[in-house]
Amino acid sequence: MSSKITVSDTLKHKLSRYLYMQFAEPLSNADSSIDAAWDYLRNRWQPKTVDILKKLAPPMIRWGGCFASHYHWYEAVGPREKRVPIHNLCWDGLFSNQVGTCELYELAKILGTELLMTVNFESEGSDFWAYPAPGMDRKGTASEAADWIRYCNDPDNQLRKSHGYAEPFNIKYWQIGNETGYLPELFHNFNHRENARKAVEFVKAMREADPSVRLTVWGDGPNEEWQERYNNGELNYWTQSVCEAVGDSAELVAFHNHFGVGEKYKHLEYNNYRKDFDLTYSLLLDGVKDFEDRIDYMRRSLKGFPQKIAITEGHFAMAGRHCGRLFSSWCMGLAYAKCCNILERNGDLVEIATLADFMGNCWQNNAVILPNSCWLAEKMPYFQPVGSIMGLFSSHMGEYAVEATAPDNIDVSASCSGDKLFLHLVNLDSQNVCKMELPAGENQKIKVWEIASDLDSEVDEGNPEIFAPREFELESNIYTMPTAGVAAIEIQ
């Protein structure tokens, strides 16, 4: 007996192509990240890195993170011999500055992707970022942010032209502020009122530089307080404060959806997860519920405001995330696949989102792992489960969301473009297959891209293709989904 997938013929909302954005931040001593992807001998992106990024096909790459709080963009443009390495205040060590605006633009051209740049927002109001040592001034201003936009987008910008780029880069997406409301006791950042007031100043200057840009302001307070406020029916005062201040002059409001944190998730920290994989899987699904609740918290807080949401960082964030093998396991892939469906179901409000850091050779919450000595022939980059899922769903997604229902234990999102229907299915049952009837008539072409594995399977350099999708066509509209399976389905 098969169960049915049913799909409404009414369009729900348009889906942003930026739901599966990748977030790039130089991590220096913590993870060589950007430096690991750059070929210093030939001044280019590592070819093997480019090859795997083409497969990932990120629709957007964000440049910034905590790094943005002490970054001066003008230090990383122009002749390479004049670029001075800078202290990476958040992640220790030095960043070479050999990758800057122009190099990011070149990568975006190769990949056919959009860029999102995070400006230095007066170091988030923190002297820790702005004045880290005597004689050092890392504070960014509104005029500096506006000059960066002019460098990128003004057809007549002479500085960019002197660097060999006659045509403008036309970068439309810019973020003001990064985690401004987080860890106030450590960084002494702007409070929510100062954040709102300063956001108005930056929006004005950046809008004057290019009226066509889409601007994102920061709208979230201390990370540890959201859940209590949400459960008490309270709203996000950071979101409301900044949205009231900027009115309709900024299009998006940002927050970072880090989840799976706290005493409840101690079992997931470090290598504890290996002790009881059933408990591990259960807790991961609880973390996904937190991910969904946090979006709902922002939805409630944005009611009555015109802004959409930009989740410019987001992933499981339990202790040990940078070196824990849990992030390499298939149970993590299943949890992230459900998060993807949640993003699509909330696509009326969410315009930009990510579920991973971009790439590097150490952090396990990267989408792409770049092995050490990547130039060696046998060393090949590979996807973490989250990279496999994001690349799969992003490549097979329609323009408009539609309502869908599925059998028990199957999580579904559906979308369409023209005469093509797309289904994203997750079989959350790790014990039983699910035989189902798809919404297709006779002789309709049905293509499936499927990933399935044991919950405790892990990807590594010795088995880099373990979570590569299997592609096939169905002979009928009956699909038997494997246990712990993820599928993207196209129905013509």
> Which of 61, 50, 49 has its CA nearest to residue 25?
61
Q: Cα–Cα distances in Å, from 222 out to 150, 246, 315, 398? A: 33, 21, 17, 35
135, amino acid identity:
G
Write down the pLDDT at residue 1.
Answer: 45
Instruction: Tally helices (H) and strands (E) across the chain.
Output: 13, 25
Handedness of CA 281, 287, 293, 299 (dihedral sign): negative
Beta bridge partners of 369: 360, 382
**The predicted structure's pLDDT at residue 330:** 97
Element (H, E) at 339: helix 330-345
| 3-state class (DSSP) for residue 296 | helix
Phi/psi of residue 127, nearest 5 degrees: -65, -25
Q: What is the pLDDT of residues 129-154, one digit of tens each?
A: 999 999 999 999 999 999 999 999 99
First vs last C-alpha separation in the chain: 25
Do residues 125 and 194 make contact, with C-beta atoms less than 8 angstroms apart?
A: yes
Q: How many CB atoms lie within 10 A of CB 263?
A: 5
Q: What is the structure's pLDDT at 374?
A: 64
Task: Check: CB of residue 452 under 8 Å from CB of residue 483.
Answer: yes
CA distance 249 to 252: 10
State which residues of the chain have pLDDT below 70. Answer: 1-2, 321-323, 374-375, 377
Identify the residue whose tokens are 């579920």: 355
Q: What pLDDT score does 441 carry?
A: 81
Cβ neighbourhood burial of 10 (10 Å; 0-12, 13-18, 19+): exposed
Cα–Cα distance for residue pair 452/113, rounded to 1 Å: 29
* Sequential DSSP letters for 390-416: HHHHHHS--SEEEEEE--TTEEEEEEE
Nearest residue to 363 (alpha-carbon basis) of 326, 388, 338: 326
pLDDT at 137: 96
pTM: 0.96
